[in-house]
Amino acid sequence: MDVNDQAIIRDVLAGEKDAYGKLVARHSQNVFRVAFRITGDEADADEVVQEAFLRGYQRLQGFESRSEFGTWIYRIAVNCALNMVNKRKFETTCQIGEDGDPAKHEVQVADTAAGPERTLLSREIESLQTAAMAALTPTERTAFILRHMEDRSTTEIAAALEIAPNAAKQAVFRAVQKLRRSLAPLRVNP
């Protein structure tokens, strides 16, 4: 474990109230990144970051230093993000329109370089990608995100999802296979 993290944890456990803020500052960017990739929403990711660090603070007394603090808080964040996704159970239905309406989960995208055909094609591709990711189970989606977007090892994925390493490897494999099948219409033949 990082010596600095160990020293900060000792300070927090000794009663230094401001010391935990150093851990938050050091690890919040990674926690936010994974939370955003799992939830797909900046506000939800911010909420996950707060929840993960709150839970981490509450459970810091039980932290056994078998892993690094960053790995431990990352795992808490993954669990919080998955809980939020399962709790909300909303299907991502982002529509891109001229007049974006936040209440309808619509956003406005300004693209001065792309013509109408390119914009339409980009929308179709984005829609297919969103649908393909939504079709994955939460475990498959998270395993895929951690492996291919966060570049995490199978061992780290297994720890974050609290499953066996072989199960993590299978979840990534299943996700890739499902995405390949779903996105096959986008493949360009040479």
Domain ranges of the chain: 1-90
Write down the architecture of domain 1-90 according to CATH.
Answer: Orthogonal Bundle (1.10)
Name every residue whose Cβ is closer than 8 Å to that of residue 31 and which is 6 or more positions away in sequence.
Answer: 48, 49, 52, 53, 73, 74, 77
Alpha carbons 121 and 38: distance in angstroms, whole number: 25
pLDDT at 131 (0 to 100): 84
pLDDT at 115 (0 to 100): 64
Mean pLDDT of the region 11-35: 89
The pLDDT tens digits of the residues spanning 26-73 come to 999 999 998 988 888 899 999 999 999 999 988 888 887 777 888 889
Q: Is the pLDDT of residue 94 over 60?
A: no
